[in-house]
């Protein structure tokens, strides 16, 4: 038996659902593959438009082979997330060119659903969810078109949307109750986490400036009570003490389950929601107290147990007044004094001079800052190119630099003067979203500053950028730079409406992150405990899920049955009336109309006549007349049938 051929409207729906499933992938597929898919889909559309037959099988085989070759060339491999998705996208486009009957069409629809799911391998934000939802509606519409007759696109879309809508309660049940495991559900291929902007564990000139050009959110924080003043908003990240003359890297350190300091002084309590950056370090205000599940390095960094591949919520308490590193190890201090020999001779000379001028080690940082201020250094996102020795060039020739130049130059100067110093990178600043009150820190807030070790005081934070561009610290990057144009559009100060829009969107996005993406095993447990189901294991969850799913399906079915129309209450009443008459031996013929029936009964049982005729007349008028929506008449009929007890 051969399957029936596809009608034109079915082919059109398949094309639409394929396009809607593939289009959102355009953001991450290689350009050549986007071109190939567009060509194939366009070809399919043209054939359908002109009513011409589909290409021959051998041609399609050749096309498929060249497509696989294209993916292999683009990705240098065929396995893994990206080549896999690319391969599927291409093969789906080709599949459409050989889709002749219903069976092929079902394959296309399955593949389309898979492509929509594939979107979430890249991103899980709300926009992606909306795109996948739109694709799902189109795919369901295509599936609907395979069953039943042709319909207008509008009616079909509405029907599909209705079906998807009816699936939402079930989705909610699965979302809430499906047993959650920490991390992703299945092992993602090794290339699953690429393309993330953010700080790195090394710093070369220009690195931080590059990060600053992104308006993406690095993390959010929600403070209990007031957030710290702008000058205190230093979010500590990687600490870099190993300098090779150009690049700064992390130094020798050890990692422990508790910090190497004792927290003291006033505290800020806050919840930090960190965007994934594929690194182990976390960001925190100085200096976080002990929290379960976190690691603390000997250079006072807060670390996660594993690289942060998914958005992470941290409940933190920071004590800014905590003294750290009072009895720092010798090895650390000596590394904090190392300078590669022969590099930056002029800065070394400056350091030696400062050392000679200073009465004590503790005066040197202030002298260096004063020198920086006096030499008229300018703060800019794109400084002039430096010569061989970056720090020398910056301090003595170009005198233009971004925060990393300031920090690097300051640390080199201090090391040359014999004061242990190191570079700290992280974020400085952040602002409050006026819509939901959350504290937002972006990549553009990326910053580098210095830490200086002084005997008796331990490690002290000093921000040399503040010397030349104090507004960077108080007003953020946008306040400190003379020219706004190179800043990410969303960070600029001069477009208030854009900021309002951004605040609103980000507030929504934050909700999504907190409630949808942040719904992890812990929150699931918390929710279940609130429902009185503490310590629910996965079997309980599955039983709950089955029960809730059945309940939802039952409710939906009941709703659908009632939905047939409220007028069916009239039918039910009439059926009851007929049953009662049948019970006394006066059944209605199946075809008999109400008035005929009542008339017949009136003949057979004159005693019932008037009641029966009255009821039948009311019923007929309600059922077939113009007053079928009159609630009063309906109630009257209901009452009189209820009271009708023939004997």
Partner 1 sequence: MPTHIATRLIEAASRIILGKDEAVRLALACILARGHLLLEDMPGVGKTTLAHALAHLLGLKFQRIQFTSDMLPADILGVSVFDQRDGAFRFHPGPVFSEMILADEINRATPKAQSALLEAMEERQISAEGRTYPLPAPFFVIATQNPADQIGTFPLPESQLDRFLMRISLGYPDPASERALLAGEDRREMLARQPPVLAAGELDTLLTASRRIHVGPRLLDYVQALLARSRESSDFSTGLSPRAGLALLSAARAWALLAARDHVLPEDVQAVLPAVAGHRLRPAGETPLRPDELTRRLRDAVPLP
- The residue among 580 and 623 lying less far from partner 1, judged by its C-beta, is 623
- Whichever of 463 and 573 has its CB closer to partner 1, that residue is 573
Which is nearer to partner 1, 435 or 621 (by Cβ)?
621
Quote the CA–CA distance of 320 and 318 in Å, as a whole number.
6
DSSP string, 316-349: EEE-TT----TT--HHHHHHTT---TTS-HHHHH
Closer to partner 1 by CB, 76 or 590: give it.
590
Query: What is residue 256's three-state secondary structure?
Result: strand
**What distance in Å separates the CA atoms of residue 224 and residue 272, rounded to the nearest whole number?**
11
Considering 28, 286, 319, 403, which one is annotated as catalytic?
A: 403
Closest approach, Cβ 584 to partner 1, in A, equals 21
Nearer to partner 1, 511 or 580 (CB): 580
Given the complex with partner 1, which of 101 and 571 has the nearer CB atom? Answer: 571
Q: Based on CB atoms, which residue is closest to partner 1, 71 or 622? A: 622
Site string for partner 1, 306-345 (x = CB under 8 A): ----------------------------------------
Sign of CA dihedral 628, 634, 637, 641: positive
CB-based burial label for 644 (10 Å; 0-12, 13-18, 19+): middle
Enter the tokens of residue 262: 């004792």
Q: Which class for 108: exposed (0-12), middle (13-18), buried (19 or more C-beta within 10 A)?
A: buried
Min dist CB 633 to partner 1, Å, is 13
Exactly one of 463, 503, 573, 618 is catalytic; name it: 463
Residue pair 333/325 in contact (Cβ under 8 Å)? The answer is no
Please give the Cα distance from 117 to 618 (Å, whole number): 56
Rounded to a whole number of angstroms, the minimum distance from the CB of residue 602 to partner 1 is 14
The HSE-up count of residue 12 (CA atoms within 13 Å, CB side) is 11
Shortest Å distance, C-beta 628 to partner 1: 6
CA angle at residue 240 from 239 to 246, to 5 degrees? 155
Q: How many CA atoms lie within 13 A of 331 on its CB side?
A: 6
SS3 of 110-141: the string is HHHHHHHHHHCCCCCCHHHHHHHHHHHHHHHH
Question: Closest approach of Cβ 552 to partner 1, in Å?
Answer: 31
Total residues in contact with partner 1, by rule CB under 8 A: 18
Q: Whose CA is closest to 147, among 98, 202, 187, 109?
A: 109
Number of H helices, E strands in the chain: 22, 17
Nearest distance in Å: CB 607, partner 1: 23
**CA–CA distance, 66 with 87 (Å, rounded to integer):** 11
Please spell the DSSP secondary structure of 168-222, one letter per residue. HHHHHHHHHHSPP-SS-SS---GGGS----S--SEE-TTHHHHHHT---EEEEEE
Distances (CA, A) of 539 to 57, 174, 524, 552, 553: 49, 14, 14, 20, 21
Taking the complex as a whole, how short is the minimal distance between the CB of residue 574 and partner 1, in angstroms? Answer: 7
Interface with partner 1 in residues 561-580 (CB under 8 A) = 571, 574-575
Catalytic: 463?
yes
Convert residues 483-512 into a mask of x (bound to partner 1 by CB under 8 A) and - (unbound).
Answer: ------------------------------
To partner 1, the closest distance from the beta carbon of 577 in angstroms equals 12
| Minimum separation from the CB atom of position 596 to partner 1 (A) | 5
96 backbone dihedrals φ, ψ, rounded to 5°: -65, -25
String marking each residue 351-390 x if it binds partner 1 according to CB under 8 A: ----------------------------------------
Closer of 50 and 590 to partner 1 (Cβ): 590
Spatial separation of the C-alpha atoms in residues 17 and 142, rounded to whole Å? 7
Q: Residue 244 or residue 596: which is nearer to partner 1 going by CB? A: 596
Catalytic residue among 319, 371, 447, 573: 447
Taking the complex as a whole, the smallest distance from the CB of residue 637 to partner 1 amounts, in Å, to 14
The dihedral sign for the CA sequence 145, 149, 150, 153:
negative
Residue 138 tokens, joined: 């189109």
Closer residue to partner 1 in complex, CB, 114/624: 624
Complex with partner 1: residue 23 or 569, whichever CB lies closer: 569
Bridge partners for 427 per DSSP: 235, 446
**Smallest gap from residue 560 Cβ to partner 1 (A):** 19
The span from the CA of 618 to the CA of 643, in Å, is 15
Site residues (CB under 8 A) for partner 1, limited to 578-637: 589-596, 620-621, 623-626, 628
Cα–Cα distance between 231 and 627 in angstroms, integer?
74
- Tell which residue, 580, 581, 569, has the closest CA to residue 635: 569
What is the binding site for partner 1 (CB under 8 A)? 571, 574-575, 589-596, 620-621, 623-626, 628
Q: Which residues are catalytic?
A: 403, 447, 463
């Amino acid at each position: 038996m051969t399957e029936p051929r596809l009608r034109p409207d079915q082919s059109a729906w398949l094309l639409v659902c394929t396009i809607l499933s593939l289009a959102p992938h355009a953001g991450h597929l290689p350009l050549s593959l986007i071109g190939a898919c567009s060509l194939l889909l366009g070809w399919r559309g043209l054939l359908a438009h002109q009513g011409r037959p589909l290409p021959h099988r051998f041609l399609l085989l050749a096309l498929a082979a060249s497509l696989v070759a294209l993916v292999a060339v683009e990705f240098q491999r065929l396995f893994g997330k990206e080549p896999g998705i690319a391969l599927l996208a291409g093969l789906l486009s080709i599949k459409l060119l050989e889709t002749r009957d219903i069976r092929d069409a079902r394959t296309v629809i399955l593949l389309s659903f898979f492509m929509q799911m594939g979107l979430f391998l890249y991103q899980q934000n709300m926009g992606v969810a909306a795109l996948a939802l739109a694709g799902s509606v189109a795919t369901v519409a295509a599936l609907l078109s395979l069953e039943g007759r042709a319909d207008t696109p509008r009616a079909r879309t509405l029907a599909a949307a209705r079906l998807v809508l009816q699936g939402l309660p079930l989705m909610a049940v699965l979302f809430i109750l499906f047993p959650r495991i920490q991390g992703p559900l299945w092992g993602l291929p090794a290339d699953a986490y690429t393309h993330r902007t953010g700080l790195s564990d090394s710093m070369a000139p220009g690195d931080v400036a590059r990060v600053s050009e992104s308006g993406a959110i690095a993390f959010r924080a929600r403070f209990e009570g007031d957030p710290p003043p702008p000058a205190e908003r230093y979010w500590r990240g990687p600490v870099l003490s190993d300098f090779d003359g150009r690049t700064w890297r992390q130094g020798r350190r050890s990692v422990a389950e508790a910090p190497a300091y004792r927290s003291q002084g006033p505290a800020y309590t806050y919840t930090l929601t960190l965007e994934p950056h594929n690194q182990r370090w976390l960001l925190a205000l100085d200096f976080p107290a002990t929290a379960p599940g976190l690691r603390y390095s000997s250079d006072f960094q807060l670390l996660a147990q594993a690289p942060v591949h998914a958005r992470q919520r941290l409940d933190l308490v920071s004590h800014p007044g905590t003294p750290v590193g009072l009895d720092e190890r010798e090895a650390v201090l000596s590394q904090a004094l190392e300078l590669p020999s022969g590099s930056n001779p002029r800065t070394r000379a400056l350091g030696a001079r400062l050392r000679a001028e200073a009465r004590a080690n503790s005066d040197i940082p202030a002298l260096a800052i004063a020198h920086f201020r006096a030499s008229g250094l300018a703060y800019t996102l794109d400084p002039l190119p430096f010569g061989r020795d970056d720090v020398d060039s910056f301090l003595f020739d170009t005198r233009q630099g971004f925060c990393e130049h300031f920090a690097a130059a300051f640390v080199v100067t201090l090391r040359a003067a014999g004061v242990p110093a190191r570079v700290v990178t992280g974020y400085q600043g952040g602002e409050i979203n006026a819509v939901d009150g959350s504290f937002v820190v972006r990549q553009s807030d990326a910053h580098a500053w210095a830490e200086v070790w002084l005997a008796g005081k331990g490690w002290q934070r000093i921000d040399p950028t503040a010397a030349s561009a104090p507004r960077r610290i108080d007003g953020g990057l946008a306040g400190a730079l003379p020219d706004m144009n190179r800043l990410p559009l969303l960070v600029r100060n001069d477009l208030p409406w854009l900021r309002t829009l951004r605040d609103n969107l980000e507030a929504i996005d934050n909700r999504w992150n907190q409630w949808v993406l942040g719904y992890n095993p812990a929150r699931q447990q918390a929710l279940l405990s609130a429902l009185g189901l503490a310590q629910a294991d996965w079997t309980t969850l599955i039983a709950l899920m089955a029960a809730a799913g059945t309940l939802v399906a039952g409710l939906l079915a009941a709703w659908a049955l009632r939905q047939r129309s409220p007028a069916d209450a009239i039918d039910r009443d009439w059926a009851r009336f007929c049953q009662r008459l049948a019970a006394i031996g006066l059944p209605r013929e199946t075809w008999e109309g109400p008035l005929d029936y009542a008339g017949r009964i009136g003949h057979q049982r004159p005693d019932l006549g008037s009641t029966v005729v009255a009821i039948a007349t009311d019923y007929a008028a309600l059922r077939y007349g113009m007053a079928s929506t009159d609630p009063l008449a309906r109630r009257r009929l209901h009452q009189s049938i209820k009271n009708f007890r023939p004997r």
